[in-house]
Amino acid sequence: MNAQIGKFSRLGFVLSATGAAVGLGNIWKFPYITGVYGGGAFVMVYLVTILLIGASLLIAEMVIGKRGQQDCVSNFETLSPDDSKRGWKYAGFTLFTGLVIMTFYSVVIGWIFYYIYLTFVGLPTSIDDAKAIFDQLYGHKPFLQIFFHLLSVLFVGGVLLGGIKKGIEKTNLILIPFLLFILLGLLMYAMNFDSFEKAVHFMFAPDFSKLSSEAIIRAVGHSFFTLSIGIGSIMTYAAALPKKAEIYKAGLMVAFMDTFIALIAGLVIFSFLFQFGGEPAKGPGLVFISLPVIFAKLGMTGTVVAFVFFLAMAFAGLTSAISLVEPSVMYLEDRLSWKRKKAVIWSSIVYFIVGVLVVFSISDGYKDWLTFGTKSLFDVLEFSVDSFLMPLGGILIAIFVGYVMKRDIVEGELLGHMGNTVFKIWYFSIRFIAPLAVLFLAYNAMKI
């Protein structure tokens, strides 16, 4: 392993892997899709799938990383039987999925920076005003979006230049506790609302009459994708673990923290919505259109709450963004012997330039040049990640750990910490349940 990478402490790994898993999907996407698909029944399917599939795949990806102790390509190559090394090394190239995601993810982080700025200059006071502000940013202010996109790129690049210990671990040791502190503070504030009980009921009292087949697919899909499985982030972080680290407990802790933060975010957002007559089924505009208006109704208190809320979103997005770029950086260091500075700069340049094109693809006056059929470049990239690249990475991990790696190697990493019965259940899930579930998900996602 490259000497520049360093090693995580146990706490540093758990918080950094939590940072990789916790992203905008927890605070932005989870609440709005929960609202769209009816609340409690959706949440129940989500939680069951996290336990049975998501956590299993997360641990499997950690096994590959910790055992291989190298970049993703080298891990697959080293841990493959001799007769299949050449073919399986290509599975490691799913690590570049992170850069694909960053081409549009960094743009969305830029939107959050803009909304932090809005808390200082004035929040919209009506839904029409809020929609007009977002529409202006989204479709008519490409250079403003590019500016905030650049700020995201510079922050992520600056952290990555510090390596594992001084960059990634140190940043997550600060940002993840701050994120938890902010969300718990918002939760305590929301508990004072009369609507808090209604929010709890909406999220945890299942109404199965609202559980459509599409809702089930969305719940299964989000439970899988929220943990950042199949893109090399968790594998790369696990490669920086000490050899004696217990990945079973660490994996469960990361899955728990990821789920815990998503549920808190949902309770906070729905408490605000119900208190002020907002609609939960507002889709992606829930955070960027509905909530700013609600915050504005609270006066100066609302401005402060809006600031800390969007700050929490920024922390979640940035910690996740760091993990999306690190696999590519580690590959360039290990396989091409690049200096870390060179690897970080070139990785950043690539996704920044494509991100600029993404911005133009949704901007009036430019989007006709970057539209493919009915989909903008933004939509094409997001669709390719959700429907193809991440499912492919998840299936490859499940097959590799379940069928290609020697069982005694897998047992050596887990059996002493899981116990025989739990290991057998987990191993069965990795070999049969997880691959079929991901295939089912990918097939249905393409039809929605």
What is the CA angle 78-80-83, rounded to 5? 115
**Whether pLDDT at 55 is above 80:** yes
**What's the CA gap between 356 and 142, in Å, rounded?**
8
**Pairing label, strands 375-376, 371-372:** antiparallel
Task: Centre a 10 Å sphere on the Cβ of residue 386 and count the other Cβ atoms it contains.
Answer: 18
pLDDT in tens, 165-219: 999 999 999 999 999 999 999 999 999 999 999 999 999 998 888 788 888 888 8
List all residues 6 or more positions away from 331 whose beta carbon is below 8 Å from its beta carbon.
Answer: 71, 72, 73, 92, 95
- In the prediction, which pLDDT does 4 show? 43
The pLDDT, as a whole number, for residue 240 is 93
Rounded distance between C-alpha atoms, residue 280 and residue 28, angstroms: 13
Q: Rounded to an integer, what is the distance from CA 154 to the centroid of its chain? A: 19
Q: What is the DSSP string of 389-422?
A: IHHHHHHHHHHIIIIIS-HHHHHHHHHHHH-HHH
Answer whether 352's CB lies under 8 Å from 153's CB: yes
DSSP string, 352-402: HHHHHHHHHHTSTTTGGGGEETTEEHHHHHHHHIIIIIHHHHHHHHHHIII
Distance (Å, rounded) from C-alpha 54 to C-alpha 286?
26
pLDDT tens for each residue of 240-277:
998 788 999 999 999 999 999 999 999 999 999 999 88
Neighbours of 388 (CB within 10 A): 14
**Percent of all residues in the chain with a pLDDT value above 70, rounded to a whole number:** 96
> What's the pLDDT at 283?
63
The model's confidence at residue 1, banded by pLDDT at 50, 70 and 90, is: very low
User: What separation in angstroms does the CA of 322 have from each of 38, 86, 167, 232?
Assistant: 33, 29, 10, 12
Q: 375 in helix, strand or coil?
A: strand
Q: Which residue has the higher pLDDT, 279 or 102?
A: 102
| Tokens standing for residue 250 | 């660490």
- Annotated domain spans of the chain: 10-445
Distance CA 378, CA 104 (A): 6
Exposed, middle or buried, 194 (CB in 10 Å: 0-12/13-18/19+)? Answer: exposed
Q: What digits encode the pLDDT tens for the residues 105-135?
A: 999 999 999 999 999 999 999 999 999 999 9
pLDDT of amino acid 439: 87
pLDDT in tens, 353-374: 999 999 999 999 999 999 999 9
- Name the pTM for this structure: 0.93
With CA atoms as reference, report the closest residue to 425 among 412, 438, 435, 415: 415
Residue 337 CA to residue 357 CA, distance in Å, equals 30
Report, in angstroms and rounded to the nearest whole number, the Rg of the chain calculated over CA atoms: 21
User: Positive or negative, the Cα torsion across 347, 239, 393, 448?
Assistant: negative
pLDDT of residue 280: 79
pLDDT at 396 over 80: yes
198: exposed, middle or buried (C-beta count within 10 Å: 0-12, 13-18, 19+)? Answer: middle
Q: How far lies 227's CA from each of 59, 176, 310, 333, in Å? A: 11, 15, 21, 25
Mean pLDDT of the chain: 92
Q: Which CATH architecture has domain 10-445?
A: Orthogonal Bundle (1.10)
Query: 268-327 pLDDT, tens per residue?
Result: 999 999 998 877 766 667 889 989 999 999 999 999 999 999 999 999 999 999 999 999
- Backbone region of residue 211 per phi and psi (left: phi > 0; alpha: psi in -120 to 50; beta: other values): beta
The secondary structure of the chain in percent helix, strand, coil, rounded to multiples of 5, reads 80, 0, 15
Higher pLDDT, 51 or 401: 401
| pLDDT given for residue 185 in this prediction | 96
pLDDT at res. 190 = 95
Nearest partner of 29 among 199, 232, 211, 266, judged by Cα? 266
Of 320, 321, 246, 334, residue with least CA distance to 69: 334
pLDDT score of 85: 66
What is the distance between the alpha carbons of residues 136 and 214, in angstroms, rounded to a whole number? 31
CA distances from 380 to 92, 142, 149, 290, 384 (A): 23, 18, 19, 27, 6
Give me the DSSP letters along 119-137.
Answer: HHH---SSHHHHHHHHHHH
Tokens of residue 382, six digits: 């997001």
